[in-house]
Structure 1
Amino acid sequence: MVIASMMILGQFLFRRETVPYQQLQRSTEYKHASLERVGERPASQFVGLGEDRITLTGTLLPIFTGGRLSLDLIRAMAKTGKAWPLIEGSLRMYGWYVIESINETSSVFMSTGHANKIEFTLALKRVDKPDPNRMGKQSLADTLNGYLDNASDYLQDAL
């Protein structure tokens, strides 16, 4: 059985049931050095690639989509500091990315404190293919275990 996904980061599937993003923004920089010249425009020389960033934004409606647990799984991946392959559902390989930041805004709360609406922004930065020791190889089960460990730490701190 094939599981259709919008995108895959490592082993995390971006789907309607997890984190369906509504916007993907990509910014790629190219570096050029300038050399001042008398009476002429500066000379320009291409010196290499700059930053390549992808920002995913969207709104989660936990009744229909994923919620905080899905975002917390991505946070557990980010906490490893490892690079993950980013592959679009069309099988386009973007390259290796690290998770730079995750922002969320919750609103429309139920009486239990659960949010009915969660807006998020996920910032990714492309890196060179990592050394095998720095690659994100852990399974989704390992990521989930890391999340559960973090949740128990959070509960201990709250008590």
Structure 2
Amino acid sequence: MLLQVGPLQFSIAPMNAHEITREAATDYAKKEVVGRRKIYEHVGEGDDKRTIQGKLFPLKTGGAGALQLLHTMRETGSPQYCMRGDGYAMGWFVIMNVNETHRHLSPDGVGQEIDVTITLERADSPGAMGAFMSLFGLAP
């Protein structure tokens, strides 16, 4: 396993992840001071975004069901627990966006190669029941 987002596992096949980027920020309150530069007061952690890029080959290795599960998790809006393949707990994230690019369409309109880009944003953990339900891909 390379990565897990809620109940969805990314591995070599069928749902592959080949690139993960992180954009983390810190929030500051800016205060104007006459005759000086602005004063910055640290007010806490800002946004923590992850972007996962992956690829599917649905006609060779499957993965259409994994793609549908990903959209279902996005539609529920529930935070999903994320973990790297080495066991590192990344925390809770909501799925903000899923982009698909289908290439080499088969005669029935299915892309033989599908590039997937998933945008996640850090969120607070849900209540106990929401956490339990997210492990099984259910909406709270």
Give the structure-2-normalised TM-score. 0.87
Q: Which runs of 5+ in 2 are unaligned?
A: none
Partner of 2:72: 76
Task: Report if the CA contact (8 A) 1:57-1:119 is conserved.
Answer: yes
SS in 1 for 2:58: coil
**Residue 8 in structure 1 maps to residue 7 in structure 2:** no
Contact 1:32 1:44 in 2 (8 A): yes
Equivalenced residues, count: 139
1:17 positional shift: 2.0
Native 8 Å contact 1:82 1:136 kept in 2: no
Q: Which residue of 1 aligns with 2:89?
A: 93
TM-superposed CA distance for 1:71, in Å, is 0.9
Of 98-107 and 72-81, the range deviating more from structure 2 = 72-81
When the two chains are superposed, the root-mean-square deviation of aligned CA atoms in Å is 2.0
Q: Distance in 1 between matches of 2:35 and 2:134?
A: 58
Q: How far does the alpha carbon of each residue in 1:40-65 deviate from its partner, in whole angstroms, 9 at most, with x for none?
A: 11111100111111110122223454
Q: Structure 1 residues 77, 16: closer, same or farther in 2, change over 3 A?
A: same
Q: Which has the larger radius of gyration?
A: 1
Indicate yes or no: 2:56 matched with 1:52: no
Q: Which amino acid aligns with 1:44?
A: Y
Distance (Å, rounded) in 1 between the aligned partners of 2:135 and 2:127:
18
Among candidates 27, 30, 33, match of residue 31 of structure 1 = 27
Q: 2:117 aligns with which of 121, 128, 135?
A: 121
Letter matched to residue 100 of structure 1? M
Identical-residue share of aligned pairs (%): 28
CA–CA distance in structure 2, aligned partners of residues 66 and 48 of structure 1: 43
AA matched with 1:127: A
CA contact (8 A) 1:54 1:123 kept: yes
Equivalent residue, structure 2, for 1:155: none
